Amino acid sequence: MKKIVVLDGYAANPGDLSWEKMKELGTCVIYDRTAPSEVIDRIADAQAILTNKTPIRREAIEASPNLQYIGVLATGYNVVDMDAARERGIVVTNIPAYSTPSVGQMVFAHILNITQQVKHHSDEVHRGRWTTSKDFCFRDTPLVELLGKKMGIVGLGQIGFNVARAGLGFGMKIWAYTSKSRLQLPPEIKKMELDQLFHECDVISLHCPLNEQTRELVNARRLALMKPTSILINTGRGGLINEQDLADALNRGQLYAAGLDVLSHEPPRPDNPLLTAKNCYITPHIAWATYEARQRLMQIALENLKAYLAGAPIHTVTPK
């Protein structure tokens, strides 16, 4: 491999991991970030490119006569024009399942923060409210136990199953909206139609892909089905939610709270209504980004490129 270009390496490796093994495969140029206007120039003579969120559009592919391989440093590969890559015979790979444990952790980080009001009470302690309390303990919000609560999981892939197992560990009852048949599910996970899931479940966690069928599946109509005590979690894709509808529902008290790690536009625009919505807890798309998950990502990216060079590519993806 003559030239490998990493277009946006900083997110996966801000300096605590190493590119050295990748550099052994060829001349390796690593950029922390690449603006869309810089892509064509930076990949013009590359044989292999790696990208996380930098879009690889048709015009960039057509302007890169030597390009043979595109490695996506993520599971989702919608940043690549797959039709253009196929027409050129370019191999495209992704990184499956690397972040499954970490994303599951973030789901329950949000759930536990909301049900136990961890951040709120810590902030109040530091403001001095515990030191002036008349009692040995101090609380000023409801605290919620998960035992026996219904958890609805939308999309039952590897992450969805991982979240289901964690929920079972807390004693929750697990329901899922999934294309899998009842015979494919363990007895402790029950199937449920989507509207019924939104109507009955205490916690709803989104783990389905974003496509034309799932875009804004969380909208005003479905939010109106939710109980005022219920919680919505999204660590999947921001586009699964109509953000104005969710903000309105939170502000009206149609649901108790939302915990989000993804938004429809990232970084968010300053006028995103969820930034000021009531009981909306937002983390900046970091569920995938534990040290251990990024280690796996880097290792799989290396293995993907090695396998391609050996003539037996793995983790290849094809147009939908």
285 catalytic residue (yes or no):
yes
Three-state SS at 26? coil
In the chain, alpha helices (H): 20-23, 39-43, 58-62, 82-88, 100-116, 118-126, 158-169, 194-200, 220-223, 243-252, 291-309
Tokens of 228: 């005022």
**Pick the catalytic residue: 188, 266, 269, 292?**
266
139 catalytic residue (yes or no):
no
237 catalytic residue (yes or no):
yes
The secondary structure of 240-299 as a DSSP string is GB-HHHHHHHHHHTSSSEEEES--SSSSPPTT-GGGG-TTEEE--S-TT--HHHHHHHHH
Do 120 and 141 contact (CB within 8 A), yes or no? yes
Bridge partners of 69, per DSSP, are: 48, 91
Q: For residues 186 and 176, what is the distance between their CA atoms, to the nearest angstrom? A: 11
Bridge partners of 174, per DSSP, are: 151, 189
**Pick the catalytic residue: 121, 207, 222, 237?**
237
Do 52 and 78 contact (CB within 8 A), yes or no? no
Angle subtended at Cα 23 by Cα 19 and Cα 28, rounded to the nearest 5 degrees: 100
- Chain centroid, CA 210 distance in Å: 11
**Pick the catalytic residue: 110, 121, 222, 285?**
285
What are the catalytic residues?
Answer: 237, 266, 285
